[in-house]
Structure 1
Amino acid sequence: MTVLIGDFGRGSMKKQTGAGRAPNIRDVAARAGVSHQTVSRVLNGSDRIRESTRQSVLDAIKATGYRPNSAARALVTRRSGLIGVLSTHQNAHYGPQTMQIAMERTARQAGYQLVLVSTSGERGAVDSAIERLLALDVEALIVLAPRTEVYRALAGVEARVPVLALDSSRREGASNVAVDQFLGSRLATRHLIDLGHKEIVHVGGPQDWIEAEERMQGYLFELGEAELEVTPPILGELSADFGYLAGRDLLRGRRFTGIVAINDQVAIGLLHAFREAGADVPARISVVGFDDIPEAAHIPPGLTTVRQDFVAVGERVVEAALAEIVSGAPSGAILLEPTLEVRGSTAPPTDAGWWASRPLS
């Protein structure tokens, strides 16, 4: 047994390991008073190590500043410690960013790292992104890309590694974690109906976006339950600019008192258009958003919206991925319930006919 005596701070360790040389596994073994094979067993999670020995090795790792070589560990354990994330979100939206941060933190706490590949939704680009992730020997693949074309491309991947999707569709045999989008839209629509609104319009999202379809179906379900007339939804982008244009278009030709918007950004654009035209919210028009972005409570008059717990989604999907890596069994659908945050943008309807056909200046 080799015993080292003295203060092994950062400067002392450099002298012991050689100037400019990073500490290695033998330095850790010497510090802990064990063999380098014992250090290796601790790093690889062996359950045949006494707890006192394990703690001595961990203390030595901390003292020396040793960083295990992940590539070398992968050769020994046949595990990469990587979880791939495929995203088609090209812009910095609150929801996807919040989920990614929660996913990274949860994976890191479990000893894993995330590898993020962002791509467009075209089939060729998605295929290429998947192959890049699989070439890194990721142990699971999380899909932050709720578009129908992406799931067609994933059809041949599911047998190779666990694949988990961040969407609320109920595909047979799929593993997914999400807030229930259908239920969220039902909550928004039912809120307007309960206030007395009978002419409710849906301003939706892109047609190939799975969550947009789920939200539109929730809106249609509640109107059907209430036996209210359905008007054609306005479908488009997920931006405030689109909401503003949709709001101007609505004011030119439709009679309505309530709007269920696809997300908060679109709702913000709608509020801008209505404010500009003098159509007061909520005295003349009620607007409900979706997501509960941090700004929603501060936009006058305060946006009523469906709240999604993006942090919980990010945590749960990584936990489900880790469980599938160990068990090999699909986790199935994990749907979290949304909540409705009622603020100042909704109220009982009044006669809005005075502005319904009024041309914009």
Structure 2
Amino acid sequence: MRRGGAVEAEGAPRPLVMSDVAALAGVSHQTVSRVVNGHPNVAPQTRERVERAIAELGYRPNIAARALVTGSTRTLGLVTVKIDQYGPAQTMIGLENAARAAGYSVSVSILDDATAAAMRDAIDTFVAQRVDGIVALSTYDDAAEALRALDPPVPLVAVQVGGGEDRPAVGVDQETGARLATRHLLGLGHRTVHHVAGPADSQEARGRIDGWRSELRAAGAPVPEELLRGDWTASSGYLAGKALAARIHGGEDITAVLTANDQMALGLLAALHQCGLRIPEDVSVVGFDDLPEAPYFTPPLTTVRQDFAELGRRGVQLVLARMNGQDLHPEPVPTALLVRSSTGPARVRT
């Protein structure tokens, strides 16, 4: 009798093995092994018969034993830092979905700090688990420094953090995204665009600063200092909004703001509203990320969308290519500007 993934005889149930699948499918043990390990030299009808038997029995291959035969556990290691924000969390989900679609499971290690020691420990653990490749997800400088110091015996690629020639990487085109947002605001007649930047040690934040400044310079517009450096949170955006409102009420001509992410834009909008400023009549605001809630802000937020699913797909594509000995250099993931109600024509100066 078959019951619950085991074969029952007169005594206690025993775990299913390949020979049980072979007996039900009417094939050899070796044929079942070829199907389980993805070997190409199996007739389609035979493969289908074996897969039906596997499904009927509820057989689960012994991953450790399969690794001894194939040298592959079909597992990727994912080490990530500080996923309490929307972007890193969605990127991690995108990577996991893409890995699953490629037939790989994912082992995840979440670090509180991207120190070299913590990164080394996480990667050493993955190597001990015999993962086939490792993806490091972060945007911070300390993570980049830690990665540069590591040379594991399995392919290691970086996502959202600069790789350099010694470490293949894939990320989002932050600079173009910021340029799109700045160009949009200038096109509405704003004399210049101010910026609420992200953390100083974030490569993503610096990419957005570079794009904002480059577009202002290209347009011949004044390049102001950043209004404030936030920490990606709504509370830091709120503080920036309070400081901004005080400057506007003090007579400064500030009519357009690019915030480094949507969460800071949310805090900024709340502060401006509390200080009696209208959006977009007095100040136009653009965010970055396209949070699911962004269309429901008051007013709905104009923002730069990042395709985290595509970022995950390219990250997995990159590590699989390295595992196969291919020298792949994927293009940055493009961004798109979504125009909503938080931006409008510059107010007429009197």
Query: What TM-score comes out, normalization by structure 2 length?
Result: 0.91
Aligned partner (choices 91, 95, 103) of residue 99 of structure 1:
91
1:226-265 pair list within 5 angstroms: 226-233=219-226, 234-253=228-247, 255=252, 256-265=254-263
Letter in 1 for 2:47: R
- Return the letter of the residue paired with 2:262: D
In structure 2, which of residues 274, 277, 280 is the aligned counterpart of residue 279 of structure 1? 277
Give the superposition deviation at 1:263.
0.3
Aligned to 1:186: 179
Q: Which amino acid aligns with 1:248?
A: K
2:335 alignment counterpart: 338
Structure 2 CA distance for aligned equivalents of residues 66 and 308 of structure 1: 40
CA contact under 8 A between 1:74 and 1:80: conserved in structure 2? yes
Aligned residues of 1:176 and 1:334 also touching (Cα < 8 A): no
Please, which runs of 5 or more residues in structure 2 have no aligned partner?
Answer: none
Q: Tell me if structure 2 keeps the 8 A contact 1:170–1:333.
A: no
Structure 1 residues 215 and 102: CA distance shift in structure 2, 3 A: same
Q: CA deviation at 1:281?
A: 0.6
Aligned partners of 1:174 and 1:332 also within 8 Å:
no
Is the partner of 1:189 in helix, strand or coil? helix
Whether 1:216 and 2:214 are equivalent positions in the alignment is: no
Question: What is the RMSD of the two structures over their aligned residues, measured on CA atoms?
Answer: 2.2
**CA-CA distance at 1:85 after TM superposition:** 0.9
| Distance in 2 separating the partners of 1:170 and 1:77 | 30
1:203–1:235 contact (8 Å) kept in structure 2: yes
After TM superposition, the structure 1 = structure 2 runs for residues 1-361 of structure 1, keeping only pairs within 5 Å, are 10=3, 14-15=7-8, 19-91=12-84, 93-119=85-111, 120-158=113-151, 160-167=153-160, 169=162, 171-172=164-165, 174-233=167-226, 234-253=228-247, 255=252, 256-326=254-324, 328-350=325-347
Q: Closer, same or farther in 2 for the Cα pair 1:79/1:17, shift >3 Å?
A: farther
Partner SS state of residue 172, structure 1: coil
Question: How many angstroms does 1:127 deviate by?
Answer: 2.5
Distance 1:17 1:312, change over 3 A: farther
Q: Residue 162 of structure 1 contacts residue 330 of structure 1 at CA under 8 Å; is this kept in 2?
A: no
More displaced, 250-259 or 288-297? 250-259
Query: Partners in 2 of 1:320 and 1:204 — Cα distance?
Result: 30
- CA drift of 1:320 comes to 2.5
Structure 1 residue 126, shift from structure 2 partner: 2.3
Superposition deviation, residue 10 in structure 1 = 4.1
User: Which amino acid is 1:180 matched to?
Assistant: D
Matches of 1:230 and 1:47 in 2, distance apart? 60
Shift of 1:346: 0.5
SS in structure 1 opposite 2:134? strand
Q: 1:293-347, CA deviations, whole angstroms, 9 ceiling, x for partnerless residues?
A: 1110111111000011111111222122222212x12321421211110011011
Asked if structure 2 preserves the Cα contact closer than 8 Å seen for 1:204 and 1:216, the reply is: yes
Equivalent pair of 1:304/1:343 in contact (CA under 8 Å): yes
Aligned amino acid, residue 67 of structure 2? A
Cα distance between partner residues in 2 of 1:65 and 1:242: 52
How much has 1:118 moved relative to structure 2? Answer: 0.7
Q: Distance in 2 between matches of 1:253 and 1:109?
A: 51
Amino acid at match of 1:116: V
Question: What TM-score comes out, normalization by structure 1 length?
Answer: 0.88
Are residues 325 and 17 of structure 1, via their aligned partners in 2, closer, same or farther at CA, if it must alter by over 3 Å?
farther
1-side partners of 2:80 and 2:315: how far apart?
Answer: 14
CA 1:342/1:11 → structure 2, altered by over 3 Å: closer, same or farther?
closer
CA distance in 2, matches of 1:23, 1:17: 15
State the percentage of identical aligned residues. 41
DSSP 3-state at the match of 2:14: coil
Secondary structure of the 1:335 match is coil
Q: CA separation in 1, counterparts of 2:327 and 2:283?
A: 45
Question: Structure 2 CA distance, aligned partners of 1:72 and 1:306?
Answer: 47
- State the number of aligned residues: 344
Matched with 1:358 is none
Measure how far apart 1:11 and its partner are. Answer: 7.4
Q: Give the counterpart letter for 1:243 in structure 2.
A: G
Q: How big is each residue's C-alpha offset from its partner over 1:39-88, in whole Å with a ceiling of 9 and x where there is no partner?
A: 22222222333332222221111111110011111111111211111110
Cα 1:319–1:12 change in 2 (3 A) is closer
Structure 1 residue 138: deviation in Å?
2.0
